[in-house]
Amino acid sequence: MTENTKYIFFTLIAYKLILITIGLWASKKTKSFTDYFIAGRKLGPWVAALSASASSSSAWTLLGVSGAAYLWGLPAIWIFPATLSGFFINWFFIAPRLNELSHSRHTLTLSEFLSLSNNGSIKELRILSSFIIIFCFIFYIASQFDAAGQSFESTFGLSKTFSIIFGAGIILFYTLLGGFWAVSLSDTLQGVTMALSAIILPVVALNQVGFDLIIADIGAQSFFSTPTGVKGFAGIGFILGTMGIGIGYPGQPHVVNRFMAVESKEKIFQARIIAI
């Protein structure tokens, strides 16, 4: 194990211990079903904004977007307005209305909220929405665990199976113990870590590579082209397709649940500024 690997290993151990501590602390605040599923509707603007941002723009923004920028070059910049549009849709249109209605209807989950109508609860809609969420999240969570397992395997030489079980065990522990409070606080911690990494790492990388080389490479590309350099209608199609990323933001139940958990509509307006 190299010196750098040791630093990474001890940092990860410290991080896992922090997650366990968060779970233990959150368990003391969890006294009811409302506390467990939706943090007692007492989520503050900072926790709501950072946890929602970390959930919607998770590892794919640091790893996936970085890889896209490396492979595509300048056209990858269209991912930025695409994700920003998703934030605007969520915080300006979805969040205020969902927060107000979920509070007045006393709903705890998105499926429960969707199934309610003026005539009462629609059982079929609740079952269908729950099935869609569970089905899609099986693949989403599996890909997250698989990526984590591969990272542990390549960095520390640990078995991929052991790494996945170890990581899943920690997550299950603090989630079952502290519920939505634990999940929101851990996501807030991850959001802060991701934000700092997104600021510091590019500065260090650009300092090593040199700004002149980067600017020269950028100057040779076009905003309105595909990653392969094709322009015209193909370039426009690429841009429109990339902008479609923002449409998916309102459909993420693990994100919009934060809007239901925020304490009030006024707190939503504060969280909106922080998130965007």
Distance CA 174, CA 179 (A): 7
**For 177-236, what is each residue's pLDDT tens digit?**
899 999 999 999 988 988 888 888 888 877 877 666 666 665 555 656 666 666 777 777
pLDDT on residue 117: 64
pLDDT at 239: 82
Question: Which of 3-7, 62-66, 116-120 is predicted least confidently?
Answer: 116-120
Q: Which of 54-68, 111-125, 171-185, 204-218 has the lowest mean pLDDT?
A: 204-218
Q: What is the pLDDT of residue 235?
A: 74
Tell me the pTM: 0.83
Residue 222 confidence (pLDDT): 61
Please give the Cα distance from 156 to 5 (Å, whole number).
7
For residue 248, the model assigns a pLDDT of 85
Say whether pLDDT at 276 is over 80. yes
Separation between Cα atoms, residue 139 and residue 111, nearest integer Å: 19
Residues in the chain: 276
For residue 171, pLDDT beyond 80 = yes
Angle at 46 between CA 44 and CA 47, to 5 degrees: 70
Rounded CA separation 249/228 (Å): 27
Task: Indicate whether 99 pLDDT > 80.
Answer: yes
pLDDT at 24: 92
The residues facing 262 across adjacent strands are 43
Supply the pLDDT for residue 183.
92
User: 121 pairs with which residues across the strands?
Assistant: 116
Determine the Cα–Cα distance for residues 34 and 260; give it in Å rounded to an integer: 11
What pLDDT shows up at residue 220? 56
Which positions ≥6 away from 201 have C-beta within 8 Å?
none
CA-CA distance, 159 to 156, in Å (whole number)?
9
Confidence of residue 157 (pLDDT cuts 50, 70, 90): confident
Half-sphere exposure of 90 (CA within 13 A, CB side): 34
Average pLDDT, the chain: 84
pLDDT at 125: 84
pLDDT in tens, 32-57: 889 999 999 999 999 999 999 988 88
Give 9's contacts (C-beta < 8 A, 6+ positions apart). 1, 156
Residue 219 CA to residue 26 CA, distance in Å, equals 51
pLDDT of residue 153: 79
Dihedral Cα 166, 171, 172, 174, nearest 10 deg: 120
> According to the model, what pLDDT value does residue 217 have?
61
Tell how far CA 201 is from the center of its chain. Answer: 19
